[in-house]
Every structure is written in structure tokens, then in C-alpha cells.
Amino acid sequence: MISEPIKVLLVEDNPGNIRLVREMLKEAKPALADLEDAPSLLAAAERLAKGGIDAVLLDLGLPDSQGISTFVELHKQFPGAPIIVLTGLTDEKLGLQAVREGAQDYLVIGKVNGEWICRAIFYAVERMQVREELLRSEQRYRLLVEKNHAGVYRASLDGHIMDCNEAFAKVFGYASGEEIIARPMRDLYFDPREREALMVRLGAERALSNIELCLKRKDGSQVWVLANESLVEWEAGSPPIILGTFVDITRRKRAEEALQQSENRLRAIVETEPECVAIVASNGNLLQLNPAGLAMIEAGSFAEVPRKSVLPLIVPEHRAAFQAFLQGVCSGNKTNLEFEIVGLKGTRRWVESYAAPIADETGSICMLAVMRDLTERKHAEKSLRGLSTRLLQLQDEERRRIARELHDAIGQNLAALVTNLTVAQRSADKLNPKARQALSGSLKVAERSLKEMRTLSYLLHPPLLDEDGLASALAWYVKGFAERSEIKIDLKVSPSFGRLPQDVETTLFRVVQESLTNVHRHSKSPTARVRLARRGTEVKLEITDKGQGMPTKALHSGNQNSGQLGVGIMGMSERARQLGGRLEIDSSRRGTTVRVVIPHPEVVL
């Protein structure tokens, strides 16, 4: 459809004909935008070269050119210009020849009027525009085919390749499209019957989409392609042809095969893994579970898992911790957790899970967990803790017994010995000097032995701990320790502290003993601070020094050498744990704080 005004160039050397054409065009409706004239072929070529001309009215008899060669020459120079040939009454054959050579139309002067000329010009311009658009469309189509990375081809129903792009030839290892054109499609198949079966499907369905085929390259090697084929009516009255595309997917197929082999190996490893391996979604749904995991939860198959959720398998008191653990892993963290599960048959098990984030098929982050059964270890730990508890109890009982025997037996004997030696000392002037010296020395040894025996007895188990309670026992012990060690110790016990059960008081006393011994032997601190307080429903004990801190190895291993009366870090921790409490140690180069917290101790009046 023409929307812009049309500019016409009249190539004519006869002034009369020029006036005649102008007069006819003035009366025509709609009028042309402009009419220019050129008296010769050379002048016409110069004007057309400047541009802006939409159509040409050409007289074949010009001063510098005659006959059909006039049109041929001008059309050769300006193939995109629509040319209408003007002929005389006797030149109709010449006009027809010009049309065959590419002219848009021919008009016989004397048989046409202005409207006919205008109509011919409009039609010529429209035909040329349609032709140019068709050429552009064909060019775009050819570029689309030639530059396409997919192999594009046409084939006849009898299976011969009619046309293809270079990409199609490259897929099958040919140097060019010319080398493969006219070859039968069955040559591309290892088994020609496969092609015949596809042709049957294509005839029934008219189109085949995304068919994966293993075909044969020129050298006989395999090439995997993704094929799309359609039956189309190419020309009216002719049999349909096959239009298709082949995309080389050999790399993808090899990668898929390698991935499948890797998955098979991984699946075999997981299936034979003696530990439980599970994949859990962020909402707790159990996505996969290996045979060891099914055995752990007492399920014969994955279908037996209730609601396919892992949460019902976790004991209620551990579910909150597990859900926090699951969310942490699905947020990108690698971590581990110990918790208790209950099987479908009611068996309770302790498990330890090591987990890491993993993406599922949709890209959602899930938890990959490897769980091992800790039940036997937990039972062994429980038995060991019971044994440890009993050993500590026996140790305290033995210390109490030894302290009592030292005080009641050896202490009494040493006291009697001191008394007798003191009486003898009063008559020492009757003895010779050597005997007096021996008697005096023996009295001093007896007195020192009595003092050291009492100190040892009190350290083993201070009587004040049973008689007056923890506060008095600590005051006595701290005073004596400060005198012996020359370490300045600040002791503060909260007012109205009261009495606690014997095992609680013994534990706290032993922690103070051990901690101050460590300060003296290892910390090199000149001062120490002891704080004992009851706050709400718990008792809190803190021993702080300003020494050199504890070695990292000793802090984490708990194997510190603490001396005969010390219980070591592990011993202090075990004593606190037996009472439902906890031991905390903060240590740096600026000093160490040992903290024991005992919850809900029973008040003894």
C-alpha cells in the first residue's frame, strides 16, 4: 500500500510527447507528486543516481540509445527502479519483450489516458515494493538457515536430501552441503529400518518433535542428534516434502552417560554403606533413605515411613533441636547433632548426624545427612558415668574414713606422745647434755608431725564441712592455703548462704581445692578471688586468677596433672554433671575463671 507521494521520471526526447504526458497526468486522480523529465539515457542515469525517484516512464527511442537495449541498460544499472516502457502503436511486440526482460508494464501512446498511466505507475511501484519485500524476506530466511547452528535440511519423500545448510553437513562430518545433497537419508542411520519407522510415524503424525537419534557420521562414528521433522506442502500440485532440523547433542549425551555412571556408582556406594544416609527436605520430608537407614528406623521399605516425614521418628524432647539443626543446614551450614529416635517398632536409639546442604532436582536446598548409631556408646558412657560417680563417692568416703582415723587414732597417739615428751622435758636438767638435746629434738618432731597430720586430715575431709557447712570450711581452707602458698585470696560468700546437701557441699569444696591448687602450681598469679552465691534457683561458684592462663591442650583435653588432692578438669566436670550442673572455664593470657553452676540445690536447714 503506497502512502507517500510518488515522484516519476519521464525519459523522453520528444517535447510533444512530454507535453502530452504532462497534460494527461494533470487530469488524473489522484495526482502524482511530481514529474521530471530527462531527454536521454545518460541524463536519466544521472538523475536516478541522485535518488528520490519512485518510478520511470521510459521511451525506447532516445538519442543515445534505441530499442530494447535502452531498457536493458537502464534496468541493469538500476534494478530496483520500477520501469514502465512507453511504445508507439507499432511497437507492442517491443513492449512485451521489455516486460519479459523485467519491465513492470508497457503503455502504448495514443491508447492510454492519464488515469491509466497513474494506475500503471501505482501498480508498478507496489509490485516493486512487494518484490523487494519478498527478496528481503528470502534473504532473512536464507540467513536464518545458513547462520543457524542447528542443521537445517529439506528432503523428498523418497528420502533424498534436497537442500541443507553448512551446519547440517558439519554435524555428519561432511566438508560442505554440496557433498551431502542428493544422498539418501538412510545413509545417515546405522539401521535403515529405524528411518523407515520414523517415516511411518511422520506420515501418521505429520510432525515429530525432539526425537533423540544416534546416527552415523561420514567416518562411521556415532553422532547423537535432537531431531524435529515436519511434512509440508512446498509447491501446489507437488508431493509434500520433509523439513527438518538436527541439533548435535553428542556432548550432552556423553555428559549424561558419564553422570549416569557416576550416579550409579554413588548409588551403589550409598546402598552398601553400613551407616544411615538420608536426604531430608527443609520441611522435614524424607526424600531418600538407604537400606541401612531403613533398618535403623525398623522399616521394611521406604513406603512404610509415616507421611514420609522424619519428624515423627524423633523423640519429642529432641524435635525442636533437630528442626533448628535442619534449618541451619538448609541455610548453608555444615554441622552435626546428637539426638534420639524411635523406630517404627518402638526401639529407641541414639544417633549422631553429620549433615551438609545439597540441592535437589528443582534446585531447592535439602539436607544430606549421614547418621551412625550411638546407642551402644551412650550405654557405655552411662555405665562409665555410673562407675565414675561411684568411684568419686568411694573416694570421698575413703578420704572421710582416712581423715577420721588420722584424727582419732594417729592424732591421739601423736598428741599423747607430745604430752609425754613435754613432761619429760620438765626433768631435762637431770639428763646429760646429749640426752637433753635428743629429748628437745624429739619433742619438736612430734609437735611438727601432729600439726602436719591434722592439716592432712583436714585437707582430706575438713570436719567443718560436716559440722558447720561449706562457708565455714571454705573460710578455714582459704586462710590456711593463703598462709602456705603466700597467695592473697579474696573470699566472699553471699549472706545467709545456708547449708546444702552433703554431696553438693563436697563437690563445691573440691572444686575450690582443685582450682586454688592449679593457681599455685601453674598460673603464677599472686592473687585469686573466690565467689560463692545463691541466685534464684541455682548456686554459682567462681574462682578467678590473674595468671598466665591455661594451655589450650590441657583446657580441651581435661588431662591436667593436678596433684594428689586435685580432681582435674575432667573430675570437676564430672562432679558438676552428677548434680545436674555444669563446669565452665574461661582462660586467656590475662587469667582464668573456673565457674560451676548447680541448679535447684535442696536447702538443708
pLDDT along the chain (605 residues), means of 10: 74 89 75 81 93 90 91 91 82 84 85 82 84 76 73 89 90 89 88 91 92 94 94 83 92 90 82 87 90 89 80 92 94 93 92 92 90 87 72 72 71 76 79 84 83 74 79 88 90 87 86 88 90 87 90 55 50 82 89 90 56
Q: Are residues 110 and 18 in the same domain?
A: yes
Domain membership flag for residue 43? yes
Claim to verify: residue 244 and residue 282 sit in the same structural domain: no
Residues 6+ apart with CB under 8 A from 368: 277, 278, 279, 355, 356, 357, 358
Domain for residue 136, yes or no? yes
Burial of 556 (0-12, 13-18, 19+ CB in 10 A): exposed
Residues 132-167 as b or e (16 or more Cβ within 10 Å = b): eeeeeeeeeeeeebeeeebbbbbbbeebebeebbbb
Model pLDDT, residue 507:
86
Contact assessment for residue 566 and residue 531, using Cβ atoms and an 8 Å cutoff: no
Q: At what angle do helices 568-578 and 375-405 cross, to 10 degrees?
A: 100
Same domain? For 19 and 102 the reply is: yes
Q: Do 394 and 488 belong together in one domain?
A: no
- Are 81 and 136 found together in one domain? yes
Within a domain: 63: yes
Asked if the structure places residue 268 within a domain, the reply is no
Same domain, 414 and 448: yes
With a CB cutoff of 8 Å and minimum separation 6, the contacts of 69 are none
pLDDT at 536: 77
Query: 143, 178, 206: which is the final residue of a domain?
Result: 143
User: Residue 368 corresponds to which cell in the numbers above?
Assistant: 544430606
Q: Is residue 266 part of a domain?
A: no
Question: What does the pLDDT read at residue 90?
Answer: 66
Which of 422, 456, 490 finishes a domain?
456
| Cα–Cα distance for residue pair 389/375, rounded to 1 Å | 21
- Is residue 461 in a domain? no
Cα distances from 167 to residues 232, 246, 405, in angstroms, run 22, 9, 104
Shared domain check, 99 and 189: no
393 located within any domain: yes
Long-range contact pairs involving 600-605 (C-beta distance under 8 Å, separation at least 24): 600/537, 600/538, 601/500, 601/501, 601/504, 601/534, 601/538, 601/539, 602/500, 602/501, 602/504, 603/498, 603/499, 603/500, 604/498, 604/499, 604/500, 604/501, 605/498, 605/499
| pLDDT at res. 76 | 92
Domain boundaries, position 314: 273-369
Name the strand (E) or helix (H) holding 17: helix 15-27
pTM of the model: 0.47
pLDDT value at residue 28: 65
- pLDDT for position 529: 94
Q: Which three cell numbers stand for residue 577?
A: 554433671
Q: Is the residue at 427 inside a domain?
A: yes
Q: What is the pLDDT of residue 418?
A: 75
350 with 407, same domain: the answer is no
| Residue 3 DSSP symbol | -
CATH code, domain carrying 303: 3.30.450.20
Q: Give pLDDT, residue 3.
A: 55
Asked whether residue 157 falls in the same domain as residue 138, the answer is: no
Alpha-helical runs (H) found in 157-290: 166-171, 177-180, 192-205, 250-272
31 and 136 fall within a common domain: yes
Classify residue 595 by burial, with Cβ atoms within 10 Å: 0-12, 13-18, 19+.
middle
Residue 4, pLDDT score: 65
Same domain, 132 and 66: yes
CATH number (domain holding residue 593): 3.30.565.10
* Whether residue 130 sits in one domain with residue 30: yes
**Domain of residue 33, CATH code:** 3.40.50.2300
Region of 16 on the Ramachandran plot (φ > 0 left; ψ -120 to 50 alpha; else beta): alpha
- Residue 562's pLDDT is 39
Query: What was the pLDDT predicted at 56?
Result: 92
Domain count along the chain: 5
The burial class, CB within 10 Å (0-12 / 13-18 / 19+), for 71 is: buried
pLDDT of residue 248: 93
Instruction: Using the 3D structure, point to which of 200, 223, 254 is the last residue of a domain.
Output: 254
